[in-house]
Amino acid sequence: MAACFKLPSLAKRPKPAFQFPEFQWSEVKIEAELGSGTFGSVYLVNYDREDRGYVIVKKMKGESAEAKRRFGKEAGILNAVKGHRNISEFLRFCKKPYAIMMEHACFDFTPFGVDKKLNTLEDF
């Protein structure tokens, strides 16, 4: 009796391209750089198309295919966890240059009688 088995497919399936709401870099007005690291910089920006006032944009440094893949993966993870109370909401993605737009979350001391909003506690 002959053995019957199925060989696994060795062909790679194409990965689906990520689909996010997009924005154009020319649409944002940088108000301040909040921080910078090895892989990118984070800016406080004014974006008229969002009714939130200010938003945060993380702009990727570098243009390697691997860096773009990782940045796209980060955007996908942020987009998937929308609505989590401990994670800033993902809003939009820009492809030239690669950038992620998120809600602006800050430390607001107004409820404690201090008229101060800060991005980091180091500024307090």
Is the separation of the CB atoms in 109 and 73 below 8 Å?
no
pLDDT, position 53: 75
pLDDT, position 3: 64
pLDDT, greater one: 98 or 16: 98
Q: How many helices (H) and strands (E) does the chain have?
A: 1, 7
Q: Of the CATH numbers 3.40.50.300, 3.20.20.100, 3.40.50.2300, 3.30.200.20, which one belongs to the domain with range 25-123?
A: 3.30.200.20
For 52-71, write each residue's pLDDT tens digit. 678 999 999 888 888 888 88
Task: Calculate the average pLDDT of the chain.
Answer: 83
Phi, psi of 68 (to 5 degrees): -65, -40
Show me where the domains of the chain are located: 25-123
Q: Is the pLDDT confidence value at 16 over 60?
A: no
Q: How many residues does the chain have?
A: 124
Q: Which residue shows structure tokens 């497919």?
A: 9
Under the banding of pLDDT at 50, 70 and 90, the label for residue 18 is low
Instruction: Supply the pTM of this predicted model.
Output: 0.75
Phi, psi of 23 (to 5 degrees): -140, 160
For 69-113, write each residue's pLDDT tens digit. 888 898 999 988 877 877 888 999 999 999 999 988 878 888 889
